[in-house]
Amino acid sequence: MEPAFKPKITPIDRIQENLVARIERRALNWLCARLPRRVSPDMLTAFGMVGALMVFSGYLGSNLDRDWLWLSVAGYVVHWFGDSLDGSLARFRKIERPRYGYFLDHSCDGLATTLLVVGIGLTPFVQLEVALVALAGYLLMSIHAFLSVRVLGELRLSYMNAGPTELRLILIALTLAMYGFGREHPIVWQLNGFDLFVGGVGLVLVALFVVQTLQVARRLAVEEPSRN
């Protein structure tokens, strides 16, 4: 019997230039060296998803009591631990499964981010329609990152010196502001300060997608000139 066909795996250049990258890398390496052998990357991926569910539950519960927001804050920490350590642990132990890990990690990232952002839109502080603008911006940037892996062999994990960890810190700050200030009065077009912030982040992500798309298209046009 002939061996099953295995697609050729091209090394991916991971580009991470966020503000806390060096500090975070040292912390992750320290944790990887001390995690029990029974802890696997898949367990950490599942742990990260538990964190995302905690965030979503806290946001949903904030409709009953603002104290539920503390569950969301704790959930962000749990999500960071699982999401940041799963791939790091695999690389640290040299047990990577490139195609499986890439597929599972980014699939879970998409679902987790959907839970986080939709959860924000289900709180009494931010309108769902506004949160969906932010979600659309994130998904567009995800599409750009995955396309860049295919056409450039690059996986960019940060833009404008900000990556997933900075985004979590921003969302934690937003959650604490929700707890501290409570419901705000509309400022413009029935949008309050939280709406304007979340919607503004979404519009920045959409604009960044457009700019990055034009830059990559220009680069590819030079590398693959027209044959006409």
CATH number, domain containing residue 116: 1.20.120.1760
User: Looking at residue 13, what is its pLDDT?
Assistant: 61
Q: b/e string for 173-197 if b means 16 or more Cβ within 10 A?
A: ebbebbbeeeebeeeeeebbebbbb
Q: Which long-range contacts (CB under 8 A, 24 or more apart) does 213-222 make?
A: 213/144, 216/144, 216/147, 216/148, 216/151, 216/152, 219/152, 220/151
Spatial CA neighbour of 84 closest among 131, 124, 51:
51
φ and ψ of 38, to 5 deg = -70, -15
Spatial CA neighbour of 213 closest among 157, 154, 141:
141
List of the chain residues with pLDDT < 70: 1-19, 156-162, 228
User: Looking at residue 227, what is its pLDDT?
Assistant: 78
Q: How many domains does the chain have?
A: 1
Q: What is the pLDDT of residues 76-87, one digit of tens each?
A: 999 999 998 998
> Is there a domain that residue 1 lies in?
no
What is the residue range of 157's domain? 19-223
User: Looking at residue 69, what is its pLDDT?
Assistant: 97
Q: What is the pTM (predicted TM-score) of this model?
A: 0.85
DSSP letter (8 states) at residue 11: P
> Is there a domain that residue 205 lies in?
yes
Structure tokens at 144: 């750009």
